[in-house]
Structure 1
Amino acid sequence: MARYVFITGGVVSSLGKGLASAALGALLQARGFSVRLRKLDPYLNVDPGTMSPFEHGEVFVTDDGAETDLDLGHYERFTGVAARATDSVSSGRIYSNVLEKERRGDYLGKTIQVIPHVTNEIKDFLTIGADEVDFMLCEIGGTVGDIEGLPFFEAIRQFGQERPRGQCIYMHLTLLPYVAASGELKTKPTQHSVKELRSIGIAPDVLVCRSEHPIPEKEREKLALFCNVRPDSVIAACDLKSIYEAPLAYHREGLDQAVLDAFGISPAPRPNLSRWEDVADRIFNPEGEVRVAIVGKYTQLEDAYKSVTEALTHGGMANRVRVRVEWVDAELFDREDPAPWLEGFHAILVPGGFGERGTEGKIKAAQFARTRKVPYLGICLGMQMAVIEAARNLAGLKTAGSQEFDLEAVDKLSPRFEPVIFHLREWIKDNQKIARDVLDDKGGTMRLGAYAARLAEGSKVAAIYDSTRIEERHRHRYEVDIKYRDVLEAQGLRFSGMSPDGHLPEIVEIDDHPWFIGVQFHPELKSKPFAPHPLFADFVRAAKDISRLV
Structure 2
Amino acid sequence: MARYIFITGGVVSSLGKGLASAALGALLQARGYTVRLRKLDPYLNVDPGTMSPFEHGEVFVTDDGAETDLDLGHYERFTGVSARRTDSISSGRIYSNVLEKERRGDYLGKTIQVIPHVTNEIKDFLAIGDDEVDFQLCEIGGTVGDIEGLPFFEAIRQFTHERPRGQCILMHLTLLPYLAASGELKTKPTQHSVKELQSIGLAPDVLVCRSEHPIPEREREKIALFCNVRKEAVIAAYDLKSIYEAPLAYHREGLDQAVLDAFGISPAPKPNLSRWHDVMDRMNNPEGEVKIAVVGKYTQLEDAYKSIAEALTHGGMANRVKVRAEWVSSELFEREDPAPFLEDFDAILVPGGFGERGTEGMIAAAKFAREHKVPYLGICLGMQLAVIEASRNVAQVTNAGSEEFDHEAGNKRFTPVVYHLKEWVQGNRVVERKITDEKGGTMRLGAYTAHLQPGSLVSDVYGATEIEERHRHRYEVDTAFRDKLESCGLCFSGMSPDGRLPEIVEWKDHPWFIGVQFHPELKSKPFQPHPLFAGFVKAAVESARLV
Please report the TM-score for the alignment, with normalisation by the length of structure 1. Answer: 0.99
Matched, 1:2 2:2: yes
Matched, 1:270 2:270: yes
Is the contact made by 1:169 and 1:262 (CA closer than 8 Å) also made in structure 2?
yes
| CA displacement at 1:546 relative to structure 2 | 1.0
2:149 is matched with which residue? 149
| CA displacement at 1:431 relative to structure 2 | 2.1
Structure 2 counterpart SS, 1:496: strand
1:428 is matched with which residue? 425
Matched, 1:499 2:481: no
Matched, 1:463 2:478: no
Is the contact made by 1:350 and 1:377 (CA closer than 8 Å) also made in structure 2?
yes
Aligned-pair RMSD on alpha carbons? 0.8
For 1:116-131, list aligned pairs within 5 A: 116-131=116-131
Structure 2 counterpart SS, 1:406: helix
| CA displacement at 1:180 relative to structure 2 | 1.2
Q: 2:440 aligns with which of 438, 443, 449?
A: 443
Specify every segment of 5 or more residues in structure 1 that has no aligned partner in the other structure, as ranges.
none
The 2-side partners of 1:114 and 1:322 are apart by: 51
2:331 is matched with which residue? 331
1:453 is matched with which residue? 450
Matched, 1:298 2:298: yes
1:98 is matched with which residue? 98
Specify every segment of 5 or more residues in structure 2 that has no aligned partner in the other structure, as ranges.
none
For 1:133-532, list aligned pairs within 5 A: 133-407=133-407, 415-532=412-529
What letter matches 1:53 in structure 2?
Answer: P
Structure 2 counterpart SS, 1:448: strand
- Per-residue CA shift, 1:252-297, capped at 9, x if unaligned? 0000000000000000000000000000100111111100110011
Structure 1 counterpart SS, 2:499: coil
The 2-side partners of 1:272 and 1:56 are apart by: 35
What letter matches 2:539 in structure 1?
Answer: A
The 1-side partners of 2:198 and 2:293 are apart by: 48
| CA displacement at 1:234 relative to structure 2 | 0.2
- Per-residue CA shift, 1:368-389, capped at 9, x if unaligned? 0010111000000000010000
The 1-side partners of 2:125 and 2:371 are apart by: 52
The 2-side partners of 1:139 and 1:2 are apart by: 16
| CA displacement at 1:303 relative to structure 2 | 0.3
Is the contact made by 1:179 and 1:185 (CA closer than 8 Å) also made in structure 2?
yes
| CA displacement at 1:315 relative to structure 2 | 0.2
Is the contact made by 1:13 and 1:142 (CA closer than 8 Å) also made in structure 2?
yes
2:73 is matched with which residue? 73
The 1-side partners of 2:159 and 2:38 are apart by: 15
Q: 2:532 aligns with which of 528, 535, 540?
A: 535
The 2-side partners of 1:523 and 1:103 are apart by: 40
What letter matches 2:281 in structure 1?
Answer: D
The 2-side partners of 1:342 and 1:369 are apart by: 9
- Per-residue CA shift, 1:410-433, capped at 9, x if unaligned? xxx961100000000000010211
The 2-side partners of 1:408 and 1:313 are apart by: 35
Structure 1 residues 395 and 34 mapped into 2: Cα distance closer, same or farther (>3 Å)?
same
Identity of aligned residues (%): 82
| CA displacement at 1:492 relative to structure 2 | 0.7
- Per-residue CA shift, 1:310-329, capped at 9, x if unaligned? 00000000000000010100
| CA displacement at 1:155 relative to structure 2 | 0.4
Is the contact made by 1:408 and 1:415 (CA closer than 8 Å) also made in structure 2?
no
Is the contact made by 2:402 and 2:417 (CA closer than 8 Å) also made in structure 1?
yes
The 2-side partners of 1:105 and 1:392 are apart by: 57
The 1-side partners of 2:335 and 2:218 are apart by: 60
What letter matches 2:415 in structure 1?
Answer: E
Which consecutive segments of 4 or more residues in structure 1 shift more than 2 A? Answer: none
The 2-side partners of 1:239 and 1:459 are apart by: 44
The 1-side partners of 2:411 and 2:18 are apart by: 49
Matched, 1:115 2:115: yes
The 1-side partners of 2:266 and 2:226 are apart by: 27
| CA displacement at 1:408 relative to structure 2 | 7.7
Structure 2 counterpart SS, 1:266: coil
What letter matches 1:97 in structure 2?
Answer: N
What letter matches 1:68 in structure 2?
Answer: T
The 2-side partners of 1:352 and 1:45 are apart by: 22
The 2-side partners of 1:350 and 1:262 are apart by: 47
What letter matches 1:136 in structure 2?
Answer: Q
Is the contact made by 2:355 and 2:408 (CA closer than 8 Å) also made in structure 1?
no
| CA displacement at 1:182 relative to structure 2 | 1.4
| CA displacement at 1:169 relative to structure 2 | 0.1
Is the contact made by 1:402 and 1:422 (CA closer than 8 Å) also made in structure 2?
yes
The 2-side partners of 1:71 and 1:178 are apart by: 27
| CA displacement at 1:214 relative to structure 2 | 1.2
- Per-residue CA shift, 1:296-350, capped at 9, x if unaligned? 1111110000000000000000000000010100001113311122120000000
How many residues are treated as equivalent by the alignment? 547
Is the contact made by 1:335 and 1:360 (CA closer than 8 Å) also made in structure 2?
no
| CA displacement at 1:406 relative to structure 2 | 0.5
The 2-side partners of 1:39 and 1:210 are apart by: 21
The 2-side partners of 1:422 and 1:467 are apart by: 29
Is the contact made by 1:328 and 1:341 (CA closer than 8 Å) also made in structure 2?
no
Structure 1 residues 119 and 408 mapped into 2: Cα distance closer, same or farther (>3 Å)?
closer
